[in-house]
């Protein structure tokens, strides 16, 4: 994803705008994953199985 993103900044987009940064990254991500037929399934599975947070870490006092 990053090589395409960096190349697009030099080629297509001559200036990086923080206002549109989310869109730049979205276009690069979609381009890199355009041939992955399981992209939606993989994304949903990652959302449904997040890493666990141990109780000790959850109840620890803030530093």
Q: How confident is the model at residue 12 (pLDDT cuts 50, 70, 90)?
A: low
Asked whether residue 56 is assigned to any structural domain, the reply reads: no
Q: How is residue 30 written in tokens?
A: 């979609």
> Dihedral of CA 22/31/4/50: which sign?
positive
In order, the DSSP letters of 30-46 are: HHHTTT-TTHHHHHHHH
Reported as a single tens digit per residue, the pLDDT across 25-45 is 888 888 888 999 999 999 899
Q: Which residue from 29, 24, 53 is spatially nearest to 42, judged by alpha carbons? A: 29
Domain that holds residue 15: 2-50
Residue 8 in domain: yes
- What's the structural domain count of the chain? 1
Residue 15 has pLDDT above 80, yes or no: no
Query: Model-level pTM?
Result: 0.47
Of the two residues 63 and 55, the one the predictor is more confident about is 55
């Amino acid at each position: 994803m990053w090589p395409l993103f960096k190349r697009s900044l030099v080629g297509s987009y001559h200036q990086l705008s923080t206002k549109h940064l989310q869109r730049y990254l979205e276009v690069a991500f979609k381009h890199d994953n355009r041939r992955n037929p399981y992209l939606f399934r993989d994304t949903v599975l990652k959302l449904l199985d997040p890493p666990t947070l141990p109780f000790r870490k959850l109840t620890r006092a803030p530093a």
